[in-house]
Amino acid sequence: MIPLAEVLRRHWPAYERKFGARLLPSHRRAVQAIVSCRTPALGAQLFGCGCGRRELVYHSCNHRACPQCGHADATEWLHRQRRKLLPVPYYLVTFTVPAQLRKIIRSNQKLLDALLIREAAFALIDVAREHKDLGAELGLLAVLQTWTRDLRFHPHVHCVVPGGGLSDDGLRWVRPKSSAYFLPQSVLAKRFRTRLKRALQQRAPKLFVQIPRKTWQRDWVADVQPVGSGEPALKYLAAYVYRTAFSAEKIVADDGAHVTFTYRDNEGRNRAMRLTGEKFLHRFLQHVLPRGLQRVRHFGWLSAAAKARLARVRVLLDWQPPKPWPEPVVFVPQCPCCKKPMLLIGRLPRPPPSR
């Protein structure tokens, strides 16, 4: 197992020399953060114990593309989302875009990623409100994921949706027809296609004209899966929400020229992929999201602006959220000799930049 930081340290200098000014600032920032995470470059805290022992604890980079930092955030996110689960059947609805759109999305992530999440969520909200099989206002959580298991660029949006919604007058909770069926996939896919096409025409007309016309004529794909209490879907997504495309345990070899990583294919078999250092970096960096883009968003009565309607949903379902988890405790290391908590006795500032 080889840490991602080590691979980046080895291959980034050549990559930077080759692509120079064409590199995105967000990609540079991500690489700089990851290679300096928990090293003297970010400074440290010095802890001491009565027995005389001293321990240096280096600071984390807290960059969302950093595999060392993402895990703690993912765990906390899962705890928070779990508390919000309602006592209704849940569905995982996934919207995918056709291959012809991928390249244009990859080159325009800042604008198009945000549109993808928004239009997928509102396609669901529209269909839920208008379709005869439901006719209710939804609340939902939407998550953008950009990669496949072997880390190719494949943007898609997962929506975790409580099955059911508020009636027009807000006085009733409307249930789906059955726990196995929520809304028709083909109708959802068509609505997503229509909404995304219109959004691109209005918000990015110059990009819209570059998209082959047949992209809008073929059938798009939306997938609806019942996921019971919703918990399995949240667990599945937590791994992506705060984690980067390369979690450290996947990289198994780096001989200075080629990097090998393992992944599970769709059938659950372990596979290995060997790429040149440059190709590896390219694959990793295409999943580093632009600054400020929210990968996760809440919509409908689960959005931050709809607290009153969420309160109404809870009343209608006669349900109270469980007590919050205790706040995460501030990290204090334990003395390796006497196993007592150590005291913070000093700070090591980060060294000034060498450039």
| Interface residues toward Zn ion, by CB under 5 A | 37, 49, 51, 53, 60-61, 66, 68-69, 335, 337-338
47 versus 122: smaller Cβ distance to Zn ion: 47
Least gap, CB of 9 to Zn ion (angstroms): 14
* Least distance from Zn ion to the Cβ atom of residue 32, Å: 11
Nearest to 120 by CA among 104, 99, 142: 142
Given the complex with Zn ion, which of 65 and 125 has the nearer CB atom?
Answer: 65
Q: How far is the CB of 8 from Zn ion (least distance, A)?
A: 12
Nearer Cβ to Zn ion, position 51 or 252? 51
Nearer to Zn ion by Cβ, of 60 and 229: the residue is 60
- Give 60 or 108: the residue with its C-beta nearer to Zn ion: 60
As measured in angstroms, the least distance from the Cβ of 279 to Zn ion is 24
Closest distance of CB 74 from Zn ion, Å: 13
Tell me whether residue 76 or residue 278 sits nearer to Zn ion (CB atom).
76
C-beta of 45 vs 94, nearer to Zn ion: 45
Query: Shortest gap between Cβ of 68 and Zn ion (angstroms)?
Result: 4
Task: Write a three-state SS string for the chain.
Answer: CCCHHHHHHHHHHHHHHHHHHHCCHHHHHHHHHHHHCCCHHHCEEEEECCCCCEEEEECCCCCCCCHHHHHHHHHHHHHHHHHHCCCCCEEEEEEECCHHHHHHHHHCHHHHHHHHHHHHHHHHHHHHHHCCCCCCECEEEEEEEEECCCCCEEEEEEEEEECCEECCCCCCEECCCECCECCCHHHHHHHHHHHHHHHHHHHCHHHHCCCCHHHHCCCCEEEEEECCCCHHHHHHHHHHHCCCCCCHHHEEEECCCEEEEEEECCCCCEEEEEEEHHHHHHHHHCCCCCCCCCCEEEEECCCHHHHHHHHHHHHHCCCCCCCCCCCCCCCCCECCCCCCECEEEEEECCCCCCC
Minimum separation from the CB atom of position 287 to Zn ion (A): 16
Residue recorded with tokens 């349900």:
319
